[in-house]
Amino acid sequence: MTHIEQQNDVVITKNGHKVARLTPYVTDIEQYFTVRENALDYQYGGKKVSYEEFMEIYEKSTLRMEFINGEIHLLASPSLFHQEILGRLHLIFTEYFKQKTCRVYLAPFDVHFHKKDFKEPDVMQPDVLVVSDLENNVNEKGKYMGTPDLVIEILSDSTRSKDMVDKLNTYMLSGVEEYWIVDPKQNTVIVYHFVNRQIDSYKTFEEGETIQSKAYQGLMAEVDSLFERFY
């Protein structure tokens, strides 16, 4: 397989036949990922791309990435403790929703968030999401194109600012009803409740307390159990 540069594009050929054309962004982003492979999370050089360009890049790449405010954010594998917390949340949520019509999904799971008064959507992978609008919101490729009712993000040092500012804004403006920010560093969970795309209320749950959803009565989680460590 050979790579030929042509009009700033990269044409991939196999056995003398053209099989794919990649934009310069793909070449740059792969190279950037290699150079910064030890980073937990980073932006694609601060460059702005369109939603269409992002989707073209994403569909031709094996990298995990999100698209927020016109910038591509590459994601590395989560930590062991992150996955333990994720597993505990999944057990709690699947048990609560097992007799209900809502479905619970875990990352990696792409969601296209359409913010009010913004032309292009953001594309993100919440750690946990609760979906009640699957009907008529699954496209021909089997991809979910609706808006979750509830989303959860588990913070890391590298994603703290993005999750607490950029994602908060996206979730609020796109019509999400509730957003949990799980902070393993502080052993706290902040629960935001949105009404009409504005913050209606928020509460921080600390050690010794029980997290309570405002969107779903009876959906609860013990803070101490969520952050229990075995190592």
pLDDT by residue for the chain (231 residues), tens only, comes to: 444 444 445 555 655 566 555 555 445 555 444 433 433 344 445 567 889 988 988 888 888 889 999 888 888 788 999 999 999 999 999 999 998 999 999 998 999 999 999 999 999 999 999 999 988 888 888 889 999 999 999 998 888 888 999 999 999 999 999 999 999 999 999 999 999 999 999 999 999 999 999 999 999 999 999 999 887
CATH number of the domain where residue 119 is located: 3.90.1570.10
Same domain, 98 and 171: yes
pLDDT for 75 equals 85
- Domain membership of residue 62 (yes or no) is yes
Same domain, 57 and 123: no
**In total, how many domains does the chain have?**
2
pLDDT for 48 equals 77
* Region of residue 216 (phi > 0: left; psi between -120 and 50: alpha; otherwise: beta): beta
Tokens 């190592």 belong to which residue? 231
Residue 75 burial (CB count, 10 A): 19
pLDDT for 32 equals 43
- The residue from 42, 75, 108 where one domain ends is 75
Same domain, 25 and 52: yes
Give the separation between CA 83 and CA 95, rounded to whole angstroms. 18
Same domain, 92 and 198: yes
Give the separation between CA 178 and CA 98, rounded to whole angstroms. 19
pLDDT for 159 equals 84
Asked if 171 and 151 count as a contact pair (C-beta separation under 8 A), the reply is yes
Find, among 188, 93, 95, 187, the residue nearest to 149 by Cα.
93
**Residue 59 lies in domain:** 2-75
Q: What is the pTM of this model?
A: 0.79
pLDDT for 158 equals 80
Residue ranges of alpha helices (H) inside the chain are 24-35, 51-59, 80-97, 160-161, 167-174, 223-226
Find, among 64, 62, 2, 58, the residue nearest to 25 by Cα.
58
Same domain, 134 and 20: no
pLDDT for 123 equals 95
- Domain membership of residue 231 (yes or no) is no
- The residue from 48, 75, 102 where one domain ends is 75
